[in-house]
A and B are shown apart, each in its own frame.
Chain A
């Protein structure tokens, strides 16, 4: 099974699964999340349902919370 490094941990994923499906399957709500996908900055406004991670990719999540 292909693997990605997700938040620093080796994690299996289903080949052909989109980034959005991957996150949803792990119960992450995309709203107010920032993704670092192999160095590319992504947010909820990007078409995460059309982006497909590959074996060996790196995905890190960061949450934006209010206050300033």
Chain B
């Protein structure tokens, strides 16, 4: 099913043939996938070991009646309501520095969508010696300061999205608008990479 008719035939072919990795299915990953599917990307490899909890509903693409379900199961169901033909290779597992290169080896780009800073760094370490574009996020908690969130190209193949300072803390919670901005910018960056557009 073609859910985005506003693309040229050549662009549609690129997006439908692309395979995008998503590491983590929380506030970033679930929303990045929604954006990419609506944009016309249709093949994904993703992983998360978690289940849907009430605290996820303030920003993640899940629903109240999915609390307790595996995120991989619940999100696949939600994404297929956007495009029933989407190909989802979802792994219900913990991603590690060892299994990341193998799981994402055939991807055209990998989205870092973890919660914790050390996991974010771990994914970048695991893919830094490959040539797979990495689209990561750092600094997106709280409200306001929308204009502080931007995309930086780091080195040969890392794109870093966020303000680099707003980490989660007892005073600074992750919330739908700002996490959503970062997720949309990650998805937009993936599309730009695939279509050879300006980041």
Interface residues of A (CB under 8 A from B): 31-34, 36-37, 39-46, 60, 62-68
Contacts of A41 in B (CB 8 A): 124, 128, 154-158
Q: Are A62 and B160 in contact (CB under 8 A)?
A: yes
What is the bound-complex CA distance between A37 and B158, given in angstroms? 13
Q: Are B160 and A34 in contact (CB under 8 A)?
A: yes
Q: Are A66 and B168 in contact (CB under 8 A)?
A: yes
Question: Is B138 located at the chain interface by the 8 A CB criterion?
Answer: yes
Q: Are B154 and A36 in contact (CB under 8 A)?
A: yes
B158 to chain A, nearest CB (A): 5
Question: Is B114 located at the chain interface by the 8 A CB criterion?
Answer: yes
Q: Are A68 and B27 in contact (CB under 8 A)?
A: yes
Q: How many residues of B contact A (CB 8 A)?
A: 38
Interface residues of B (CB under 8 A from A): 24, 26-29, 97, 113-118, 120-121, 124-125, 128, 136-141, 152, 154-158, 160, 162, 164-168, 174, 179
A60 to chain B, nearest CB (A): 7
Given A65-B167, A67-B166, answer yes or no on A34-B174 (Cβ-Cβ < 8 Å): no
What is the bound-complex CA distance between A37 and B156, given in angstroms? 10
Taking a contact as CB atoms closer than 8 A, the residue among B27, B137, B156 that contacts A39 in the complex is B156
Q: Which residue of A lies closest to B113 (CB)?
A: A68
Name which of B24, B115, B125 has the most chain A CB atoms within 10 A of its CB: B125
What is the bound-complex CA distance between A45 and B128, given in angstroms? 11
